[in-house]
Structure 1
Amino acid sequence: MMNHPVVSIGIGSYNNARYLVTLLDSVRAQTYPAIELIVVDDCSTDNSAEVVENWTRQTGYPVIFVQHEKNQGVVRTFSECTQLATGQYVSLVGSDDVLDPDLIAQTVAEFDRRGPRCGAVYADCRLIDADGHEMAPSFLRYFNPAYADAPPEGNLIVPLLRGLYLPTLTTTVRREALEAVGPHDETLFSEDLDMWLRISRTFHFAYLPAVLGSYRVHDRSAIHTNKLALNETYFRIYRKGYFEGAEEWAAARHSLADHAEHYYASQGPEAPARLWFAFRETRLPKTALFWLMARLGVKYTALRRATGR
């Protein structure tokens, strides 16, 4: 009998009771035979915990289920999923997404084909709305038009800094890569970019050319989350200084300038200090302008009207 490596699927659950059964059924429907399912509920205020318990009882499918007594945030929740995982490969999924039946089987086959230097495999997925209707056939084309025809592989540091957005639900990581780069940084609002950058420094990413999941877009999904906190996350990542060589630093500074504009637009309380740091690092006229306007208390909308932007 073939010995299949275990794949751990960690679900970070928070107030998505409406979608949980669809996701759990999609895990149960995987064609791959060796799956460890982990659900960490981050103190949901709806009946998410009851949904998981009822589904487990009705299906008999084994689930490692953890409930937080108080809300700890998305990064801590997914970090706990990773810590609980025992599989050779780890996949982290939001509680509102859906997996196609062959996702794990095709991903493991791709890892086998690529060899041990492959630290992560990512595939495409479609976008669906709150009711499950398709909004766009390709996540990668929708969010990354510059890379749509040739999704990058190997070291992804520069593409990530230039705006490459990977679909987490169809991205699976080798355990050795997670162990090599260390745990999630729980001080950050969002964990994806920081983890992908660290993995890219030591391991390769592989692209699996298939649509293998559904990313749900609704009023509580990740693309509608706190944009100020997301920009603050990038400032913190930049200060870590992961970057090497002229191309990486140029991409990092360009991204810093973009995030500085978004930070100014979000009217964060630390805007003058953040924007001064961005100007010192980038030496770009626009970051100097954003810093000066923030110091003077000029709102971003007023600046845009005045400059015709």
Structure 2
Amino acid sequence: MMNYPVVSIGIGSYNNARYLVTLLDSVQAQTYPAIELIVVDDCSTDDSAEVIENWIKQTGYPVIFVQHEKNQGVVRTFSDCTQLANGQYVSLVGSDDVLDPDLIAQTVAEFDRRGPKCGAVYADCRLIDATGQEIAPSFLRYFNPTYADSPPEGNLIVPLLRGLYLPTLTTTVRREALEAVGPHDETLFSEDLDMWLRISRSFDFAYLPAVLGAYRVHDRSAIHTNKLALNETYFRIYRKGYFEGPEEWAAARHSLADHAEHYYASQGPEAPARLWFAFQETRLPKTALFWLMARLGVKYTALRRATGR
């Protein structure tokens, strides 16, 4: 054990009691011997806390378990996981996902091969439904096939802005990278994009060519229930203005226009203001049209039908 760097796995738990044992068992089944498990429950209203406590008693597996007295949100929950972590590497996992047994072992080996400039390693994963049935064999291909055949490495700022989605459950970060970029921004709804962008400024990302986990999609997934909040997160990231050079800014503005359109499509209450801001930044005629229609109270679906799109 003394020859293995510790990997801290932080689980952010909220109202996913039915999936927790599967995830916890997958952590216990890791072939890598030096794992620190941290679970932070964000004041779940189901029996998540009881499930976690029972699993700890039944397995005897060492766990740092923290319960929030009131709901703090996903970013604060994962921020707490990070602050509690003592490992040389940190992996943050949603409470409904599943890890393959060799995920951590292969990830640490990849860090060793890449050297200290490598700040994060990511791999692909499967998509599964609420029952565990496979939806798609590749997360990367499912969410953006543009990058599936040749996943990018190094500085990922432009790919991330152009629609590359990293599966958080198979992305592990070097502690030095986390310390260098500073804490999670707790004003955001979602923590991962902002953190990946900041890490990319100073460290390389490495792609591990393997499928090493399962990302679960169900009716309570954030991609279904929090579309407006996810769009708000990108607007806040954009306003930070930490992009450099014409290529990064072009990608950032392209993404801003997309998020403004998606916000309008999701019937966001501040759609006119978001679209106007996006138009001022991009000067795209399409965005100006969306802004005008939103001001007039025309729904996005009606506009798409009228234009035949």
What TM-score results when the alignment is normalised by the length of structure 2? Answer: 0.98
Structure 1 residues 196-228: Cα deviation after superposition (integer angstroms, max 9, x where no partner): 100001100000000110111111123213111
C-alpha RMSD of matched pairs (Å)? 1.0
SS at match of 1:254: helix
Per-residue CA deviations over 1:54-92 (Å, capped at 9, x if unaligned) read 111111110000011111111111111011111000000
State the distance in 2 between where 1:228 and 1:45 align: 23
Shift of 1:46: 1.0
The 1-side partners of 2:96 and 2:190 are apart by 17
Residues 130-157 of structure 1 show CA distances to partners (whole Å, capped at 9, x for unaligned) of 1111111111111120011100000000
Q: Which of structure 1's runs of 4+ aligned residues deviate more than 3 A?
A: none
> Aligned partners of 2:263 and 2:242: how far apart in 1?
21
Per-residue CA distance 1:166-207 (angstroms, 9 max, x = gap):
000000000010011111111111111111100001100000
The residue that corresponds to 2:23 in the other structure is 23
Question: What's 1:183 paired with?
Answer: 183
Deviation at 1:2, TM superposition (A): 5.5
Instruction: Give secondary structure in 2 for the equivalent of 1:166.
Output: coil
**Cα deviation code 1:88-139 (max 9, x no counterpart):** 0000001111111110000000001000010000001111111111111111
Q: How far 1:242 moved relative to its partner?
A: 1.7
Structure 2 residue matching 1:140: 3-state secondary structure: helix
CA deviation vs aligned residue, 1:209-265 (integer Å, no higher than 9, x gap): 001101111111232131111111111111111211111111111111111111111
- Number of paired residues? 309
Q: CA–CA distance in 2 between the matches of 1:268 and 1:196?
A: 26
Moved more, 54-63 or 220-229: 220-229
Q: Distance in 2 between matches of 1:300 and 1:167?
A: 30
**What's the CA shift string for 1:262-305, capped at 9, x where partnerless?**
11112222222211110010000011111111112211122112
Give distance in 2, aligned partners of 1:108 and 1:116: 12
More displaced stretch, 127-136 vs 175-184: 127-136
Q: Secondary structure at the residue paired with 1:218?
A: coil
SS at match of 1:274: helix
SS at match of 1:91: strand
Q: Give the SS at the match of 2:198.
A: helix
Give, in whole Å, the separation in 2 of the partners of 1:248 and 1:301. Answer: 31
User: Structure 1: how far apart are the matches of 2:292 and 2:167?
Assistant: 36
Counterparts of 1:293 and 1:169, CA distance in 2: 39
Distance, in Å, in 1 between the alignment partners of 2:79 and 2:2 is 31
Query: Counterpart of 1:223 in 2: which secondary structure?
Result: helix
Using the size of structure 1 for normalisation, the TM-score is: 0.98
Distance in 2, matches of 1:145 and 1:300, equals 26
Distance 1:81 1:124, change over 3 A: same
| 1-structure distance, mates of 2:212, 2:142 | 15
Does residue 159 (structure 1) correspond to residue 159 (structure 2)? The answer is yes
Q: Percent identity?
A: 94
Consecutive unaligned residues in structure 2, runs of 5 or more: none
SS state at 1:81 partner: helix
**In 2: Cα distance, 1:306 partner to 1:187 partner:** 38
Give the whole-Å Cα distance in 1 for the aligned partners of 2:159 and 2:187: 24
Between 1:289-298 and 1:277-286, the stretch displaced more is 289-298
Instruction: Determine the structure 2 residue equivalent to 1:104.
Output: 104
3-state SS of paired residue (1:280): helix
- Which stretch of structure 1 is more off in the superposition, 270-279 or 158-167? 270-279
Q: Take 1:152 and 1:176, find their aligned partners in 2: how far apart are those partners?
A: 22
Aligned equivalents of 2:130 and 2:295: distance in 1? 41
Are residues 145 and 130 of structure 1, via their aligned partners in 2, closer, same or farther at CA, if it must alter by over 3 Å?
A: same
Q: 2:75 and 2:240 mapped to 1: Cα distance?
A: 18
Q: Which runs of 5+ in 1 are unaligned?
A: none
CA distance in 2, matches of 1:299, 1:2: 61
